Chains A and B, each alone.
Chain A
Amino acid sequence: QKEVEQDPGPLSVPEGAIVSLNCTYSNSAFQYFMWYRQYSRKGPELLMYTYSSGNKEDGRFTAQVDKSSKYISLFIRDSQPSDSATYLCAMSQGAQKLVFGQGTRLTINP
């Protein structure tokens, strides 16, 4: 079983929809949770960063962490075609390596 599980999709939604992306994990020592966005043929770009449990909002993006359930989410409101990319969750135990989910390929249809 992988430490971090993420549904690879693909996920296709119409423009303007609310998108929900999720990851589950097994290592309760993870404290730092990140979401990266990766466009085709590009490196991952840091989107959101959260420490421990709670919510964090940045514009149309909201990250949620529920450590009791070992479950993290990324919500995208008013989705745009430019949001079409692969979204990767990542987590770490502080100054350790990042452990990534498989990535979810998202397409926003105009």
Chain B
Amino acid sequence: EVQLLESGGGLVQPGGSLRLSCAASGFTFSSYAMGWVRQAPGKGLEWVSGISSSGGSTYYADSVKGRFTISKDNTLYLQMNGLRAEDTAIYYCAKGRGSSSYYFDCWGQGTLVTVSS
């Protein structure tokens, strides 16, 4: 069974940093693209970042470009710097269907990031 488990969320002050992790199991992690999608409280889904199966290609939403960095080894990460109040959201880790397909066939339960003083 495919499982994704996010961790690393929490309360952080504006301007601070957090690193989210996503532990994957039940599939060959190195063969699939992965992504992060967030959802602010009571709002819709916002695609944040994606990474190809090899890690060689990375993609970002304009709203996080230059502040967030996606990476992977045996785990998926999202390094978030310069956090702002508008980054407050549940962050979901999601598995792509193929090595470079960015529609998501499996999602984690999410981890909550709150940016507040």
Do chains A and B stick together as partners? no
